Structure 1
Amino acid sequence: MYRIEFNILIKNRIKFCPKVVSRRITMSHLLSINNILKRRVTIWDNLNANDYDQRRLCMGPFSGRSLNISRRICGMLLNPNCEFELNFIPLHTLGQWFQLIKINEKQDQFDDDDDDDNNIETSEIYQIDKVFHKSLIDWLPEFNKIKSANDSQHIVKIDNSPQGMSPKSVTSLLINDEDSQESINENPTCSSSSKTHIMECDHNNTNNIYLTIDDIRLLVELFYLPYQHGPNIQQVFIDFYWLRFNYNQDQNLNDWRCRASVFHDNAKDISRLLQKLVAIHNRALLYDVYNYINDINSTINLCSKYLYWIDNNQRRSSVFMSGDEEPWSKRGGLAGDFLNLLPLGDFQSLIKSEFNSLSNIFIIRPITSNDHASMYALCTTICYQDDIDDLLNQHSQILAD
């Protein structure tokens, strides 16, 4: 709304980018704004912001902004994720972006009319893969730093030797660091009888609890950028899309099962990542990322279970469509993309498609006796099942009751 108002004030002479979060910031946009304002602008970049939808994270590298725009701006401010500890990659890659600008300014290798870094006549160009990998290497030690959620200082002293975590429920790890410390000291190894799946450790190799560069890359790719998933995760999503719509018992299923096996392995990798993250010393980082990684792990494991189910000679009808979908079943981000492929049901057809409000004011009121008939009809429609048709004919209000 503020962009519309500002545009009116300057008599529509500036063509704003139609998105609050821009995939790319181009030279043409900057030139048009600078010409009107008679000065270079400072950019407040929402590329990694998640305050508009805190069910999502944007931990991917700074991208979509050519080095060439540097001569048309006064500076660049990055609006980060709300979770402080999860902004390392965005800020680190932004720093590398500025470093390359300084190098190329000294070499005078900019083309003011071009948005493509590859046309800079120097080897010092902003290569996403290169800066991303460097940021991953520098971020990895942060996971092993001893840091509590309430203080960034090293106030907790624990044994740095490899050891398993407590077999207690994961939720107990998210209470406070003192409780966490006690559980570590009291239970130096994992119990094989633990019922918490993600806390099961590999007794044959205690090094499996340590995060690697590949683990950190997987974490970031799960929560990449607003307009794209990480390259490897995008392939996982494509695989599930194909598996979801290409199961046919009348044809040879070898190819389908081969591809499904790869998907199941990827799901296990994400579960192992969650297990490793729960064991890190940096509790502040864990607290920031836990809900997100636990959520996407549950979602992808649900997809994995669904593939097992449809390949198990089950009656493929609307078993998943209970008619009682929770609000979380419609979400954005990677979890939302996966859930949208599952047959969770969609009852938007019950909402009137042509609803033209004459006012922006809505009155919320208690339900009255005049509404009962409509509410009973809605409940009956949502929960209707073919096998109770005779019962409904005799007792039309039984489902709503």
Structure 2
Amino acid sequence: MSAAKPQPESPGGPRRFIRGVVEGFYGRPWTMEQRTELFKREQKWGLNTYLYAPKDDYKHRMYWRDLYSAEEAEQLMALISAAKQHDVEFIYAISPGLDITFSNPKEAAALKRKLDQVRGFGCRSFSLLFDDIETEMCAADKQAFSSFANAQVAVTNEVYLHLGEPETFLFCPTEYCDAFCKPSLSQSAYLLTVGEKLLPGIDVLWTGPKVVSHYITVESIEQVSSVLKRAPVIWDNIHANDYDPQRIFLGPYKDRPTELIPKLKGVLTNPNCEFYPNFVAIHTLATWCKSNTDGGLRDVEMSEEEQDPGYSPQAALTQALTDWLQEFLNTDQPGGPARLKKETSDEEPMQTDVGDGAYVPGPGENPLYTAEPLTLDDLKLLSDLFYLPYEHGATAKTMLQELDWLRTHSRAATAETDVTAEWCARAQQFDNMCEAVVQMFNRLSNAPNRRILYDLYNYICDIKSGVGLARAYVKTLGGAHGRASARLLTDEPEPWDFRGGLSGEFQRMLPCHGNRDLYRRPLMTTVFSVRPYCPEDKMNIQKISREMQGAGEDKAPLMAQLPLMSDSLSAGDLSPSPQCALVLEDEAGVCGYALALTNARAAAAATNLQSVVTDSVFAEFPCLITVQLLPRVTDLAPATRMIGQLLDSIKSNGCRGVFCELRHSDRRMLHFYTKLGSFKTLQDAGLPADVAVMGISL
């Protein structure tokens, strides 16, 4: 085992780059055994720091004044000793901000007494954390200090000096990211005070633009360094999952350019609550930290990682998963499956009735179940499914895109032959991807290292269930009606058929639920309803028609446009066929409509209307439809549902072909029909230059 190579030196002398792990999440703290294992990994991978800050250690945060008991002291001393044995710097953090009275000398004395106790355990590095607390000072502090920042800085400086100015002393501000700065980072009176008055030997923790930062840029670090008058230590929450019990992050350390390294004092990752799945997060951070130790600085654009000569997130991920696979296959673990190799023993076996030998299935019987070994591809798939807070892995994105396409084009499965073939082929590909998830689950479940499995089990069960529902839904779209697909259609589903419990129900009732999904689709924040047309709707439909025909800079005035049959249908000069007219409503009223004439040629002849389509079009597509939507309908899903209902009604009336007339200037409706996928542009030599006709066979 060897540590990473030394970091570049600063003008003031050798620069120790802090690189390691902070145990700073909310939830069950790691065990002493797990922390010791962490130290071994840090030493092996070249990391050098561990920050002890578990939020649920009562004496770290809630009861910070209380000294550790003899038993607790023994554990902490053993932990500090283990860190030293593996060349890992142990930083003890304390969070007094919940209820400290800064102006009371007894409070500062209690803080010193507590840290003196930990110093007696052998700890030489410390941290004061004032994150996630209320910013309103009590009356006594308001009298003693001009600001909240002044109060924190005064106590921090006092404690730092009392401890003899430790080489490593970290301070976490209350405004610990750009998003928390008031009114902005450069104008934050709080941070400006911290930068001006905090003693220069104290380093400041910083999470980046946000609490969980997607990107951390050189420019943002240069800006905060200017305000703080020192390079920050990044407390990185990119792999933290304590804010969402349904998510875990197994993607690589990324979206932080390696040219950050000389501009920082260090980087500490605050990873997943579950210890064993953090293998990838910590391993790839170590690779990132080493990327600047050879060959000088490199200009790295993380969005073009494959061209990055210094650090490739995907290469780092592959190496981490390759090493992690060996951990999964380690059979020397408590609770694992029995070893296949028979161990010698002088004792008689308890079961001696083995005269019939091992069971062998007969002809036509079920074969014996064989547990297949876990593979690197399984772990790559696992990582893709549980990637990063702002990004799904490649396979997960492909599955979402395919499911979206299959859902959108499901009607095409019963239309033209070539479209049907494409839909079926893509449905089969989606099913194969779902099957890969199931097989990955099975192989993970049989992995010898049960400790890793148990940390992952809830997550892989959940994704297997979600993928299973999507798989059944696609089979339903394709016409299959098995037991699983039938569950999707019932009004009383099993509890495992819906996700999220009470929290999910609360979110679904909120107006913006879903607008932060990583797979972006047009957001529907309004409740729409589709209902049959009634005579009272005539004026609203006429108003929508006039408004949309006159909208757009490139549209001619309504009176100057070539008249179409669909204009007469929208204007009320032609009445839609019975049961062939629908309107779309939102909270503000009618916002769209879909009208149809099942025998358009006869309707035109009866009213002496001149049609732009020829008799050959009427012969194959006798029915005319017209659809229009107001601009406030930004989600086309309700309109798609409306036209689907209209086509079903037309088909039930015996019509086997439908056409629509569109002006080229009406780009929005051209896009709508094109996106449906089932309407095809019809070639008709007699059409005017500014008119398009599209049709569908039912």
Q: TM-score normalised by the shorter chain: which range applies?
A: 0.5 to 0.7
The 8 Å contact of residues 223 and 230 in structure 1, kept in 2 or not, is answered as: yes
Aligned residue in 1 for 2:40: none
| 2:292 match: secondary structure | helix
Aligned residue in 2 for 1:277: 444
Aligned residue in 1 for 2:265: 74
Q: C-alpha offsets along residues 161-187 of structure 1, whole Å, 9 cap, x if unaligned?
A: 69xxxxxxxxxxxxxxxxxxx9xxx9x
Aligned residue in 2 for 1:40: 231
1:147–1:21 distance in 2 versus 1, CA, 3 Å: farther
The 8 Å contact of residues 300 and 338 in structure 1, kept in 2 or not, is answered as: no
Name the amino acid aligned to 2:388. Answer: L
Tell me by how many angstroms 1:160 deviates.
3.9
Aligned residue in 2 for 1:58: 249
Matched, 1:159 2:322: no
Aligned residue in 2 for 1:262: 429
Identity score, percent: 28
Aligned residue in 1 for 2:310: 125
Aligned residue in 2 for 1:88: 279
Aligned residue in 1 for 2:296: 108
Q: From the two aligned structures, give the one with the greater strand fraction.
A: 2
The 8 Å contact of residues 373 and 443 in structure 2, kept in 1 or not, is answered as: yes
Give me the whole-angstrom Cα distance separating, in 2, the residues matched to 1:339 and 1:31: 32
Q: From the two aligned structures, give the one with the greater helix fraction.
A: 1
1:327–1:54 distance in 2 versus 1, CA, 3 Å: closer
Tell me by how many angstroms 1:272 deviates.
0.9
Give me the whole-angstrom Cα distance separating, in 2, the residues matched to 1:233 and 1:320: 28
Matched, 1:143 2:334: no
Give me the whole-angstrom Cα distance separating, in 1, the residues matched to 2:376 and 2:327: 12
Q: C-alpha offsets along residues 286-332 of structure 1, whole Å, 9 cap, x if unaligned?
A: 1000110011011011100011112217799x936669966446789
Q: C-alpha offsets along residues 92-146 of structure 1, whole Å, 9 cap, x if unaligned?
A: 111111111111xxx3334xxx6637999x9841012211111111111100123
Give me the whole-angstrom Cα distance separating, in 1, the residues matched to 2:472 and 2:455: 28
- Aligned 1:1-12 pairs, distance under 5 A: 2-3=174-175, 4=180, 7-10=188-191
Aligned residue in 2 for 1:165: none
The 8 Å contact of residues 329 and 447 in structure 2, kept in 1 or not, is answered as: yes
**Alignment partner for residue 396 of structure 2, among 223, 233, 252?**
233
Name the amino acid aligned to 1:246. Answer: H
**Alignment partner for residue 217 of structure 1, among 374, 377, 380?**
380
Give me the whole-angstrom Cα distance separating, in 2, the residues matched to 1:303 and 1:220: 20
The 8 Å contact of residues 208 and 234 in structure 2, kept in 1 or not, is answered as: no
Name the amino acid aligned to 1:109. Answer: L
Aligned residue in 2 for 1:294: 461
Give me the whole-angstrom Cα distance separating, in 2, the residues matched to 1:16 and 1:92: 20
The 8 Å contact of residues 191 and 228 in structure 2, kept in 1 or not, is answered as: no
The 8 Å contact of residues 274 and 293 in structure 1, kept in 2 or not, is answered as: yes
Tell me by how many angstroms 1:10 deviates.
2.9
Give me the whole-angstrom Cα distance separating, in 1, the residues matched to 2:253 and 2:265: 18
Aligned residue in 2 for 1:168: none
Give me the whole-angstrom Cα distance separating, in 2, the residues matched to 1:296 and 1:119: 30
| 2:262 match: secondary structure | helix
| 2:293 match: secondary structure | helix
Give me the whole-angstrom Cα distance separating, in 2, the residues matched to 1:117 and 1:264: 33
For structure 1, list consecutive stretches of 5 or more residues without a partner in the other structure. 149-153, 163-181, 193-200, 354-401
The 8 Å contact of residues 21 and 45 in structure 1, kept in 2 or not, is answered as: yes
Name the amino acid aligned to 2:433. Answer: N
Give me the whole-angstrom Cα distance separating, in 1, the residues matched to 2:189 and 2:406: 50
**Alignment partner for residue 319 of structure 1, among 483, 489, 493?**
489
1:338–1:18 distance in 2 versus 1, CA, 3 Å: closer
**Alignment partner for residue 247 of structure 1, among 373, 394, 410?**
410
The 8 Å contact of residues 147 and 283 in structure 1, kept in 2 or not, is answered as: no
Tell me by how many angstroms 1:86 deviates.
0.4
Matched, 1:19 2:210: yes
Name the amino acid aligned to 2:234. Answer: I
1:190–1:347 distance in 2 versus 1, CA, 3 Å: farther
The 8 Å contact of residues 252 and 281 in structure 2, kept in 1 or not, is answered as: yes
Name the amino acid aligned to 1:319. Answer: L
Give me the whole-angstrom Cα distance separating, in 1, the residues matched to 2:302 and 2:314: 14
Tell me by how many angstroms 1:11 deviates.
5.8
**Alignment partner for residue 222 of structure 2, among 9, 26, 31?**
31
For structure 2, list consecutive stretches of 5 or more residues without a partner in the other structure. 1-131, 133-173, 183-187, 196-205, 343-349, 509-513, 529-586, 588-698
Name the amino acid aligned to 1:97. Answer: W
1:299–1:213 distance in 2 versus 1, CA, 3 Å: same
| 1:289 match: secondary structure | helix
Aligned residue in 2 for 1:309: 476
Give me the whole-angstrom Cα distance separating, in 2, the residues matched to 1:32 and 1:119: 24
Tell me by how many angstroms 1:251 deviates.
3.5
Tell me by how many angstroms 1:61 deviates.
0.4
Range with greater deviation from structure 2 (138-147 or 265-274): 138-147
| 1:50 match: secondary structure | coil
Give me the whole-angstrom Cα distance separating, in 2, the residues matched to 1:224 and 1:212: 18
Q: CA RMSD in A?
A: 4.4
The 8 Å contact of residues 50 and 56 in structure 1, kept in 2 or not, is answered as: yes
Give me the whole-angstrom Cα distance separating, in 2, the residues matched to 1:189 and 1:133: 40
The 8 Å contact of residues 221 and 233 in structure 1, kept in 2 or not, is answered as: yes
1:337–1:296 distance in 2 versus 1, CA, 3 Å: farther
Tell me by how many angstroms 1:41 deviates.
0.5
Give me the whole-angstrom Cα distance separating, in 2, the residues matched to 1:213 and 1:16: 32
The 8 Å contact of residues 303 and 338 in structure 1, kept in 2 or not, is answered as: no
Give me the whole-angstrom Cα distance separating, in 2, the residues matched to 1:75 and 1:309: 53
| 1:43 match: secondary structure | strand
Aligned residue in 1 for 2:87: none
Give me the whole-angstrom Cα distance separating, in 1, the residues matched to 2:519 and 2:467: 9
Give me the whole-angstrom Cα distance separating, in 2, the residues matched to 1:190 and 1:271: 27
The 8 Å contact of residues 274 and 455 in structure 2, kept in 1 or not, is answered as: yes
Give me the whole-angstrom Cα distance separating, in 1, the residues matched to 2:312 and 2:255: 11
Name the amino acid aligned to 2:211. Answer: V
The 8 Å contact of residues 387 and 393 in structure 2, kept in 1 or not, is answered as: yes
1:215–1:117 distance in 2 versus 1, CA, 3 Å: closer
1:157–1:129 distance in 2 versus 1, CA, 3 Å: closer
| 1:55 match: secondary structure | coil
Name the amino acid aligned to 2:243. Answer: Y
Give me the whole-angstrom Cα distance separating, in 2, the residues matched to 1:131 and 1:326: 33
Name the amino acid aligned to 1:81. Answer: N
